[in-house]
């Protein structure tokens, strides 16, 4: 099992029926590298986060964390009724600097010590942990290391709450839906990891499916008002992704470590969806392999008429040809109506 962050798990959660996507995450294979080895061609599009977005995100976090996290403390205090001056802070970037394995494990151990102290109702732990590390058990031998931007202490519940800092701009109290989806799934993985850690000490029930989000205002790098949100759906999807990862990991255990995943990729089920077009480097490969089925028309069309129905048959039903089975009889009137609308629109 690859050791890393939550990115692969989040990708699985968006399409848990795709075993190949899960296998890439479990093996820790970079999607772009896999594409080039599997197809024998260079990847034709952009890949990864844009440097400009990464730089803005880094600057946003640095502004929040400077001077003892004064900006972040002030923002959190105004939203959650705490005194900013009295909010104790431990910044792991300063306490245990570095990104190597030794530093990561030291951060993990320190974070787990604070959770153990909370199990003993010791509330003298830092109220704000910046860049802590939470282990997330994926398989019996595989662990992901999650790095929440911060953990905020809820003194009433006697447990930390994961917090995410993103430089996405809030306008009229709204964040772009796609941006918010990724942040919520990332927080969902952190909730699962935090609950696993808390369960070791019998306090897993204190961990609720919630997270604090700090986004940017339209004015420079200053934060908008932080919000705490319920993330029940995202936690459920991360748990579903974990089950998929465990199943795939068992199959991968029989594959020699030096054997490339591209050599057995065709043994893993794929599931082409609308989400693939937005987020998966293999979307063009899977689209070609879907041939001319209704799956290429999108999730809604595939659900309506059946994913494997030939597109040619869909067009025939739209033109009023006689249905040949019960499903076609149910959807044919809607397809004929759609054809009429398209004609009226000149499509």
Domain extents for the chain?
A: 51-243, 290-344
For 255-308, write each residue's pLDDT tens digit.
887 888 999 988 998 888 878 877 788 888 877 776 677 666 666 767 777 777
CA nearest neighbour of 125 among 138, 137, 116, 133: 116
Strand, helix or coil for residue 229: strand
pLDDT of residue 153: 94
pLDDT of residue 83: 61
DSSP letters spanning 258-288: TS-GGGTGGGS-----HHHHHH-TTHHHHHH
β 210-216/134-137 pair status: unpaired
pLDDT of residue 292: 72
pLDDT of residue 228: 94
pLDDT of residue 1: 38
User: What pTM did the predictor assign?
Assistant: 0.83
Strand, helix or coil for residue 83: coil
Low-confidence ranges of the chain (pLDDT < 50): 1-4
Q: Half-sphere exposure of 325 toward its Cβ, with a 13 Å CA cutoff? A: 5
Q: Are 207 and 195 in contact (CB under 8 A)?
A: yes
pLDDT of residue 46: 66
pLDDT of residue 84: 62
Q: Which two tokens stand for residue 58?
A: 């880094």
pLDDT of residue 2: 42
For 129-159, write each residue's pLDDT tens digit.
999 999 998 876 678 899 999 999 999 999 9
């Amino acid at each position: 099992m690859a050791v890393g962050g939550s990115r692969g798990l989040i990708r699985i959660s968006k399409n848990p029926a795709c075993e190949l996507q899960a296998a890439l995450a479990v093996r820790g294979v970079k999607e772009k590298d896999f594409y080039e080895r599997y197809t024998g061609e260079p990847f034709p599009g952009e890949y990864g986060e844009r440097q400009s977005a990464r730089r803005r995100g880094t600057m946003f976090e640095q502004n929040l964390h400077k001077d003892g996290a004064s900006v972040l403390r002030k923002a959190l205090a105004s939203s959650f009724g705490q005194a900013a001056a009295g909010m104790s802070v431990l910044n792991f970037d300063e306490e245990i600097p570095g990104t190597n394995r030794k530093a990561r494990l030291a951060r993990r151990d320190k974070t787990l010590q604070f959770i153990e102290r909370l199990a003993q109702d010791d509330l003298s732990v830092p109220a704000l942990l910046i860049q802590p590390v939470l282990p997330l058990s994926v398989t019996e031998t595989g662990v992901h290391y999650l790095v929440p931007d911060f953990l905020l202490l809820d003194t009433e519940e006697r447990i930390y709450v994961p917090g995410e800092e993103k430089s996405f701009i809030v306008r009229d109290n709204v964040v772009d839906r796609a941006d918010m989806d990724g942040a919520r799934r990332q927080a969902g993985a952190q909730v699962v990891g935090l609950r696993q850690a808390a369960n070791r000490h019998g306090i897993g029930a204190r961990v609720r499916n919630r997270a604090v989000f700090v986004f940017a205002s339209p004015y420079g790098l200053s934060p908008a008002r932080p919000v705490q949100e319920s993330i029940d759906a995202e936690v459920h999807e991360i748990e579903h992704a974990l089950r998929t990862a465990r199943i795939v990991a068992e199959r991968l255990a029989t594959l020699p470590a030096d054997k490339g995943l591209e050599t057995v990729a065709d043994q893993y089920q794929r599931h082409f969806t609308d989400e693939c077009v937005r987020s998966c480097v293999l979307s063009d490969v899977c689209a070609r392999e879907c041939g001319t089925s209704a799956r290429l028309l999108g999730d809604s069309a595939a659900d309506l008429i059946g994913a494997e129905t030939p597109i040619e048959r869909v067009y025939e039903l739209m033109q009023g040809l006689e249905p040949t089975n019960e499903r076609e009889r149910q959807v044919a009137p809607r397809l004929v109506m759609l054809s009429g609308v398209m004609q009226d629109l000149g499509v």
